Amino acid sequence: MGVRIGVLALQGDVSEHILAFRHALDGAGGVTAVRHAGDIADLDGLAIPGGESTTICRLVDKNAMRRPIETFEGGIFATCAGMVLVAVAVDDPRITPLGHIDMTVERNAFGRQRESFEADVPITGLDAPFHAVFIRAPAVTRVGPGTTVLGSVDRGIVAVRSGPHMALAFHPELGGDTRLHCMFLEHLQDTG
Catalytic residue among 16, 106, 173, 181: 173
What are the distances in angstroms from CA 59 to CA 64, 65, 95, 180?
8, 8, 11, 26
Catalytic residue among 17, 100, 171, 181: 171
* Cα atoms in the Cβ-side hemisphere of radius 13 Å centred on 117: 11
Contact status, residue 24 vs residue 182, Cβ threshold 8 Å: yes
Burial of 146 (0-12, 13-18, 19+ CB in 10 A): exposed
Catalytic residue among 17, 80, 106, 165: 80
Residue 186 annotated as catalytic: no
Separation between Cα atoms, residue 15 and residue 120, nearest integer Å: 24
Residue 80 annotated as catalytic: yes
Residue 181 annotated as catalytic: no
Catalytic residues: 80, 171, 173
